[in-house]
Amino acid sequence: MTLRVEAKSSLAQYEVEMKFLNLNVDDMFRYNKTHQLEEIFRDNLWKESTEIYITKVVSSLDVGGRLPLNPKEKEGVVVRIGGINAFSRDLEDLEREVQPLRNRLPCPRDYKRTSVERLFRSKHFVADWCSFRLISKKDHSDRGTSHGWSDHPYSSISLTSDVFNPQSINLSRRDFAFDFVVSIIIPTTIVGVLSTALTCIMCCNRDGKEKKGD
């Protein structure tokens, strides 16, 4: 496979970041998926942009993703689609539509079907809508923050970085002595008391019958 890289006359100032669950990096280039994805945005979602092209393609594993539990499933690919014009109203509406999904990790594959699902499914793209982001380089230069990375669902690093340092989580220690008493000791004591009482009742009943027989 041969890749030809050409310099762009106008660099993309706006990018759409998406993750696709049913593809690997090599699938994007082997089956002409990059052109199909560009067509979806050019013909439907981002008609206002005079130039649209793929700016980044990277495995989800390289940005903190995990291998799927089923070895037959794809590892997933993260793609950025760049444009030189501002985001269209359709893209902004789509971002608001998937906003409630951002806190779900992992993102259920069929949890949410968006209003534009058919555009991607028709080209055999299975999107992880929890990872959908609109990234503006102008916002980055003005405010000094990279819009879309601070609350990234599976990575806190840029796609251009080769280093992944996961945040450490300090879990508070918990004393399970009380849980042990409640779940083991108390039920065992109750069973013992009931067993003793039942045994006494049966013995007394037996003695009473024997005395009547005498």
* Of the candidate ranges 84-88, 123-127, 144-148, the one whose mean pLDDT is the lowest: 144-148
| pLDDT computed for residue 157 by the predictor | 41
| pLDDT computed for residue 30 by the predictor | 83
Going by pLDDT thresholds of 50, 70 and 90, the confidence category of residue 112 is: low
Number of domains in the chain: 2
Q: What is the mean pLDDT of the chain?
A: 78
CA angle 12, 107, 123 (to 5 degrees): 55
- 73 DSSP 8-state letter: S
Question: Does residue 44 have a pLDDT over 70?
Answer: yes
Angstrom distance (rounded) from CA 153 to CA 130: 7
Residues 102 and 182 occupy one common structural domain: no
Per the CB < 8 A criterion, the answer to whether 88 and 31 are in contact is: no
Angstrom distance (rounded) from CA 118 to CA 97: 15
Query: What are the pLDDT digits (tens) for 172-198?
Result: 677 777 777 778 888 888 988 998 888
Strand order in the sheet with 52-59: 52-59, 77-83, 14-20, 133-136
Residues 128-145 as b or e (16 or more Cβ within 10 Å = b): bbbbbbbbbeebeeeeee
Q: What percentage of the chain carries pLDDT values higher than 70?
A: 71
Q: Structural domain of residue 34, as residue ranges?
A: 14-143
Residues 191 and 93 occupy one common structural domain: no
Residues 78 and 137 occupy one common structural domain: yes
Residues 185 and 138 occupy one common structural domain: no
Question: Does residue 152 have a pLDDT over 50?
Answer: no
Q: Where are the alpha helices (DSSP H) in the chain?
A: 25-30, 33-40, 89-98, 117-121, 137-143, 177-180, 186-213
User: pTM for this one?
Assistant: 0.60
